[in-house]
Amino acid sequence: MNLLRIRVLALIAAAAFGAATAHAQWKLFESDFDENQKEWKEIEAKIPPYPGDADLLRFEAGGASPHRFFIDAKSLSIGEDGVVRYTLVVKTAGGATNVTFEGVRCDERQQKVYALGHSGGSWTRARNPQWRRIVYQETNNQHGVLFANFLCSGTGNNRTPAKNAAEVVQRLKYGPPPRVTTD
């Protein structure tokens, strides 16, 4: 009986030692991996000058919306943090004009409003600017269209910002690049 207990205890000790060794090796791998991953840090967004009509580039945000959507070409920037920032102007079917300064993170499929524009040409910082997931909407899908067709490159989960603001302007003026499909 004692021999059986000794063998069982030896097996338990060996298993525990093996698990501890595997756990230590895994932790080492995780720390090596984490050291190679930089933590993303957002840079401070500089609010651009209020948009002028001459600098607005129209884009279609889906046929279901009665509104007209524009990007201010002069406000376009791609930050060192990978955020594409721009001023969005929405001219509603009812005659109102909404102006927002926003950003898109292509890698995370997220959008954020930094500031709201006023009719006198001034800005107010957004009260609670938070990154929000861009989801497909039947109407007023401007963020989904900007993300998929104009501001970001790549497909699926491998999205990156356009090369530069000039590339985004080209896409807005002449249409998005053709989609590459793999069969």
Considering only CA atoms, which of 152, 156, 110 is closest in space to residue 129?
Answer: 110
The pTM of this model reads 0.76
Per-residue pLDDT of the chain (183 residues; tens, 9 = 90+): 566 666 656 666 556 566 555 545 545 544 444 555 668 899 999 999 999 999 999 999 877 788 999 999 999 999 999 999 999 999 999 999 999 999 999 999 999 999 999 999 999 999 999 999 999 877 778 999 999 999 999 887 789 999 999 999 999 999 887 765 554
The answer to whether the beta carbons of residues 102 and 90 sit under 8 Å apart is no
- What does the alpha-carbon distance between residue 146 and residue 103 come to, in Å, rounded to a whole number? 11
Tally the residues of the chain: 183
Q: Does domain 53-174 have CATH number 1.20.120?
A: no
The answer to whether the beta carbons of residues 159 and 106 sit under 8 Å apart is yes
Domain boundaries, the chain: 1-34, 53-174
